[in-house]
Chains A and B, each alone.
Chain A
């Protein structure tokens, strides 16, 4: 009886001790053991083209980590095909070779990582063996069942189309932080928000039902839709690359823009970065020179002067000018690119022959201030609405303080600098009855439900009169039909209006060197322009004139007309006279 009482008493004391005295401590310990705080990941949004084709995709990659102190020889239990259990002894060097075969390292490298860690700290329990391996390698490594090897899933980006639009899409760093292009500038749209939750698990690691407490919901990023057409982008990049290599140009750019909307359909850079492996490309070519590299546009800018004259009523397509080879006035001296006797040209002929003297003589009719107002209205000197990462505004000299030489030079596109995007926008304005549309590269940011969160805004602006714009387009048709380019600009069945440019490139010390930037910009079909194509090749070595740009312009424009099913021209060209 007494014994029972004593035993019971001990139990009671112990019970009180556990349930009351130590209760809080033990509860906390227990909760720690089974409660798991968990970070939940949102997925970064995709970047897609105008048709929804994926240009940048979020994927899971795996970091292979090891606990060096737990790495050792082990016995692998497996079953043969006939069902016989087999035990194989695997030494660490053998295991390292197996790992290396999947991660693309050498067995020595894997062993060295572990050895180095152990040398620094014999109790080391963390080392990265390989980072960012793909799912197949991950699965193979899991199958190997090597002790001391663990995996961490990491968010990563893949760009299935490689260099296609790589210049635009940009890339993220190995830490997932956006570094360039649209990944960088549109990060607000794309980025995901990580969430957090806590749950309790049983001894075998199974989540206890009803124990999950979500502190914060993870949110996926949104989808960024571009105005770019992936296939046209590829074609344009390929065409630019072919021609740049053919004429020995270190870099070249091309754009395709929709006249009626201002949407960019292709923005090609050569060389272009492959966002999957940024290190393959020199740093200076990892962005988009279409936005980031202003250059003196040269004669493609004569269309602006011509349009300004017509708009102001100071000239029309038929205005006569006797264009000399050399023109000097007030200390300014300029000449045409080819020697010739005085040419009786119309304004259209000035464009067709690309006469510097002709455009200077006619351009003088307009007050410089008015001409510069128009140049500014056309968007030169300001970043486009795209706001691309590292975009340059170009350079417009102060017309009140510039010298006489620059006054004339700006009439034919020297002495000021534009980006290719700005040149494209100028031709878009000319093609669109003088209405400048905001330059657009991004269609918008879209949720998974297809709802638009944000879309670029901007107002169309009538920069020059519709009459002046149309007349300028018709004058530019003579460049194709009567210019120096033979058949290389002609697209059978279509009326094409274009203007060439062979701009001298500054040698960096205030003078012009022997390098040229050859270009071509134009619209088609001329009776009702729908698409702008511009192409510029910098510093070509084998062919230093715009004839280098003409065939690729024709090629890209043909592809654009095919891609968008533009029917052949049905209205005959006015065939404006170029001489008198």
Chain B
């Protein structure tokens, strides 16, 4: 349509006039050749798989971790419940122990066993078997009624009463042993024996003395 104007001056030797062979040759020469680096940098399937695998592993481990964590939460819950129960038990037992070891209870049990307190301070010094102080026999009237109350002990029976009766019925050895009434043959030191009285803590100088059975 407008070819008349465009092609007014015919060109000579334009490229299209070359032979096919030449063209083919020329095309081969300008082919893009990837460099060694480019070839190396090309993504490979194995890497892709690796990444996906790693991602999967991460997700899996995260899942497992949170399963483990939740499982631990239940374990903790269970153990805490157990701990609460145990500390309740401990509290009950501690209260019992403290109540039973109160002096009122111990005194009541001692009295039930027939024990009386001896007011006279007398010591036996093991190192030289000296008796410090003036021994006097205890009197039975020392066991007065308990006047220091403890409402926690109401309802607590005197444990010693029953076992004392049992003990005296079955234990022949204890019954046949004569009660110690005096300290014959053992020097009694009291006031005035200065040297003897200085070490009354009863620390034996050469271990415990061997008991002598007569």
Residues of chain B within 8 A of A274, CB atoms compared: 149-151
Q: Does A108 contact B (CB under 8 A)?
A: no
- The segment from A158-166, A389-397, A459-467 found at the interface with B is A158-166
A206 touches B120 (CB 8 A): no
In A29-64, the 8 Å CB interface with B consists of 54, 57, 59-60
What's the A-B contact tally at a CB cutoff of 8 Å?
148
Q: Is the CB of A209 within 8 A of B133?
A: no
Chain B residues with CB under 8 Å of A566's CB are 121, 200
Q: Determine if A567 is an interface residue (Cβ-Cβ < 8 Å).
A: yes
Task: Indicate if B103 sits at the interface (CB-CB under 8 A).
Answer: yes
Q: Given A207-B77, A492-B120, do A160 and B98 touch, yes or no (CB 8 Å)?
A: yes
Assembly CA distance A212 to B27 (angstroms) = 73
Task: Kindly provide the distance from the CB of A226 to the nearest chain B CB, expressed in whole angstroms.
Answer: 15
Contact of B77 among A206, A245, A555 (CB under 8 A): A206
Which single member of B72, B91, B148, B152 contacts A234 (CB below 8 Å)?
B148
Interface residues of A in 148-164 (CB under 8 A from B): 158-164
**Contact yes or no, A162 B152, CB < 8 A:** yes
In the assembled complex, B128 has its CB within 8 A of some CB on chain A: no
B151-A276 in contact (CB<8A): yes
* Nearest chain A residue, comparing its CB with the CB of B136: A492
B119 near A: Cβ within 8 Å? Answer: yes
Q: Contact between B153 and A245 (Cβ–Cβ < 8 Å)?
A: no
Question: Which of B23-68 touch A at CB < 8 Å?
Answer: none
Please give, as numbers and ranges, the residues of chain A lying within 8 Å of B98 by CB-CB distance: 54, 57, 158, 160-161
User: Are B103 and A161 neighbours in the complex by a CB distance under 8 Å?
Assistant: yes
Interface size class of A (residues with CB under 8 A): 35 or more
B152 touches A276 (CB 8 A): yes
Of the listed stretches A174-182, A331-339, A556-564, name the one at the interface; the rest are far from the partner chain. A556-564
Distance, CA A566 to CA B120, complexed state (A) = 12
A493 touches B148 (CB 8 A): no
Determine whether the beta carbon of A164 is less than 8 Å from that of B151: no
Known: A163-B150, A242-B144, A272-B148. Contact between A493 and B190, CB under 8 A? yes
Q: Is the CB of B121 within 8 A of A561?
A: yes
A238, CB-defined interface residue at 8 Å: yes
Q: Which of A136, A164, A208 has the most CB of B within 10 A?
A: A164
Chain A residues positioned under 8 Å from B190 (CB to CB): 492-493, 568
B121 A162 Cβ-Cβ under 8 A: no
Bound-complex Cα distance A435 to B200 (A): 27
B137 within 8 A of A: no
Candidate in B95, B102, B198 with the most chain A CB atoms within 10 angstroms: B102
Q: Using a CB–CB distance below 8 Å, which chain B residues touch chain A? A: 69-70, 72-74, 76-77, 88, 91-92, 94-95, 98-99, 101-104, 107, 119-123, 132-134, 136, 144, 146-153, 189-194, 196-202
Chain A interface residues toward B at CB < 8 A: 54, 57, 59-60, 134-136, 138-139, 158-164, 202, 206-210, 230-231, 234-235, 237-238, 241-242, 245, 270, 272, 274, 276-277, 280, 491-495, 554-555, 558-559, 561-562, 565-572
- 7 additional A-B pairs beyond A241-B148, A242-B147, A270-B147, beta carbons within 8 Å, are A162-B150, A164-B104, A209-B69, A280-B149, A567-B123, A567-B132, A567-B198
